[in-house]
Structure 1
Amino acid sequence: MLLPTLFIIVVSLLLGTSDSRLTLDYYAKTCPQFSQIIQDTITNKQIASPTTAGATIRLFLHDCLANGCDGSILISSTPFNKAERDNDINLSLPGDGFDVIVRAKTALELACPNTVSCADILAVATRDLVTMAGGPYYHVYLGRRDSRVSKSSDIDGNLPKPTMPMSQIIEIFEKRGFSIEEMVALTGAHTIGFSHCNQISKDLYNYSKFSEYDPQYNPRYAQGLQKACSDYQKNPTLSVFNDVMTPNKFDNVYFQNLPKGLGVLKSDRGLFGDPRTRPFVEKFAADESKFFQAFASAMQKLSLVGIQTGRRGEIRHRCDQIN
């Protein structure tokens, strides 16, 4: 993990010295309750709905990888604009992620009106939920502004899909400045959370004339998934855990599952099947501390992608609409 002083230099280089307003204590004077309010909100929500951590991490990734960490994923569509969240790839984002951000924003607006951006709330809530689930702590620099734009058309080609070949997924991360190791580490977020059955139905039923299901699956696991997902056509919300062993604990078991054929998504199984990504799967499976270190560093880096500061954005009154 980068040291705070070194990281400030990195922030300055990324933003340009005239616009580098991100600091660890950005709200110390304007909203001293900031950290406690977020901590209380995410704790209550995670206890009530244990899938919140996985949902929020996914929301954060989908926000940052598309147009940068600007909270644009949170904006609702209008009759005149189809927003990012209504793009096909984002329709499966769980509601718990959106809900916890709305709750935190509501509490913060009561305590410190017009002060805290939705983008900062999402970044810190994600970090705190990762830590609460047993994952690593990492510094989140604050001072982001919220985007005034959210267009569904901006998503296409910027987010990885489970059905994509590994080369395409690697390319998406590389154009955002991430190495293959960083990409594999970020994918380790699948250690918590779930996937909808309709995302894997083609891998489970009538896969080919030679096999009913994708042969990369462990056979017993595939049969279990078939049973769990049997009503997916009638119930589109039906889902399965990404990590069948420790679904609510942030650990390295996700990587240990992949060589055993226990990856839910095609892209999960592809990580072990591709010679470019397999060494990192094996590295993280063997040593949880190395995974945690790589994940924390990659998340810290991701949290700075495409951010808006100063007059380039706004502090939204509500996270789901532009002021």
Structure 2
Amino acid sequence: MSFQSNKMDTFGYFWLVILATLGAINSSRADLQLNFYAKTCPKAETIVQDYVHEHIPNAPSVAAALIRMHFHDCFVRGCDASILLNSTSSSGNQTEKAATPNQTVRGFNFIDRVKSLVEAECPGVVSCADIIALVARDSIVVTGGPFWRVPTGRRDGLISNASEALANIPAPFFNFTSLQTFFANKGLDLKDLVLLSGAHTVGIAHCSAFSSRLYNFSGILGNQDPSLDSEYAANLKAKKCKTINDTTTIVEMDPGSFRTFDLSYYRLLLKRRGLFQSDAALTTSSTTLSYINELLQGSRQDFYKEFALSMEKMGRIDVKTGSSGEIRKHCAFVNS
């Protein structure tokens, strides 16, 4: 064999190594894509959709709970289903489920049932993280809300800590500055903040999430938040949250329209009837107030279109793809 031939063989081998390395890197950083499971589990999205269509109409309030779960999941370690992991007594680790912001999150059993159906069809293929994202979208759609694209290919995380949930999920008592910071930390801007808050047009809240506005504002017992409409506050105290210690009573987030995904939430904000301080905070910035007014001047379909874009953006936060994470067999536990 000639020297030239050896040189060419070495050169060719060098590029094969480079291409293989690049392939491995691209695999570990693979992006999400629509119909990711088209070949590996072609019925996956249909199974999810069918289950949602069968059960959500009988319990429409669960749709709001599931979109909240998706939000809380994505804000901690990205959209990796870390919110679904159970605490383990053996290690003493308290997972995100145990954190204060997640103690009122519902829908875990719903996700487990969907996962079991998908696993029966395609074992070890579809991630719990993708199931959360698909269920959240399909649940809102089946209740008459907007559709948004859900590219898939997420993988499930291996770590879940209660302290991280507390440190990353925006709280209902946040002011505008805190909201802006927390959203910016996740790559979301002020328009996303306004649009994603619009999910409060459906669902319910516990009195404990906002009772300080009624009875203990600024840490002063008996003080009421002056930014809250006085008539609305009086009605809440008389008929709903009758004491500051009420931890069980629930209140409609968007009174009179809490089952309908519409613009009513934003109209209430301008009437100073947003339930949370974080809702009211959206009217304290000229930028977010301008976005609110733009939404109200448009149609419901305009809102749906913009909301869809922000939901897809949120669904991409710090996702694990390629060889990162794993595909859990059971959503509440990492694989052994």
Do the aligned partners of 2:100 and 2:166 also contact (CA within 8 Å) in 1?
no
Pairwise CA distance, 1:108: 0.9
Paired residue for 1:69, among 63, 79, 83?
Answer: 79
C-alpha distance in structure 2 between counterparts of 1:206 and 1:315, whole Å:
45
Report the AA paired with residue 317 of structure 2.
V
Q: Which amino acid aligns with 2:260?
A: K
**1:22-65 per-position Cα deviation (integer Å, ceiling 9, x unaligned):** 32122222222212211122223312322111101110001101
Counterpart residue number, 1:321: 333
SS in structure 2 at match of 1:114? coil
Question: Which is worse superposed, 221-230 or 177-186?
Answer: 221-230
1:224-243 pair list within 5 angstroms: 224-226=235-237, 227-230=239-242, 233=245, 236-243=247-254
Q: Please give the secondary structure, in 2, of the residue aligned with 1:57.
A: helix
CA contact (8 A) 1:144 1:309 kept: yes
* 2:292 equivalent among 251, 261, 281: 281
Q: Distance in 1 between matches of 2:217 and 2:76?
A: 31
Instruction: Please point out which of 163, 169, 176 is paired with 1:159.
Output: 169
Partner of residue 188, structure 1: 198
Cα deviations across residues 79-121 of structure 1 (Å, max 9, x unaligned)? 121101111222121x2x2222111101111122111100000
Counterpart in 1 of 2:16?
Answer: none
Shift of 1:21: 4.7
Tell me which amino acid in the other structure corresponds to 2:62: T
2:267 partner amino acid? Q
For the residue of structure 2 that corresponds to 1:195, the secondary structure is: strand
Q: CA deviation at 1:196?
A: 0.7
Residues 45 and 52 in structure 1, CA contact (< 8 A), matched pair in contact too: no
Confirm whether residue 299 of structure 1 aligns to residue 299 of structure 2.
no
Can you give the 5+ residue segments of structure 1 that lack an aligned partner in the other structure?
Answer: 1-15
The percentage of aligned residue pairs carrying the same residue is: 36
Q: Which residue of 1 aligns with 2:97?
A: 85
- The DSSP-based 3-state class of the residue aligned with 1:240 is strand
Conserved 8 A contact 1:45-1:100: no
1:140 to 129, 150, 169: 150
Pick closer, same or farther for the CA change 1:255–1:31 going to 2, 3 Å: same
Matches of 2:294 and 2:222, distance apart in 1: 31
Q: Secondary structure of the residue that 1:39 maps to in structure 2?
A: helix
In structure 2, the residue matched to 1:309 is 321
Q: Distance in 2 between matches of 1:90 and 1:275?
A: 31
Query: 1:232 and 1:115 mapped to 2: Cα distance?
Result: 47
Taking the aligned partners of 1:108 and 1:281, their CA distance within structure 2 comes to 40
Structure 2 match to 1:178: 188
Aligned residue number for residue 33 of structure 1 = 43
Give the TM-score normalised by the residue count of structure 1: 0.89
Q: Flag the structure with larger Rg.
A: 2
Give TM-score, length-normalised by structure 2. 0.85
Cα pair distance change 1:21/1:174, threshold 3 Å = closer
CA distance in 1, matches of 2:80, 2:183: 18
* Native 8 Å contact 1:283 1:290 kept in 2: no
Structure 2 CA distance for partners of 1:39 and 1:275, relative to 1, 3 Å: same
CA deviation after TM superposition for structure 1 residue 232, in Å: 6.7
CA distance in 2, matches of 1:27, 1:250: 29
Structure 2: 5+ residue stretches without partners: 1-24
Question: In the TM superposition, what are the counterparts of 1:97-116 in structure 2 within 5 Å?
Answer: 97-116=107-126
Match of 1:216 among 210, 227, 234: 227
Q: Secondary structure of the equivalent of 2:301?
A: helix
Partner of 2:137: 127
Q: 1:250 corresponds to which residue?
A: 261
What is the count of residue pairs matched by the alignment? 305
Distance 1:245 1:28 in 2: 41
- Match for 2:224: what amino acid? Y
Deviation at 1:240, TM superposition (A): 0.5
Which 4+ residue blocks in structure 1 deviate beyond 3 angstroms? 206-212
Residues 1:179 and 1:21: Cα distance change in structure 2 (over 3 Å): closer
**Paired AA for residue 200 in structure 2:** H
| Counterpart Cα distance in 1 of 2:157 and 2:328 | 9
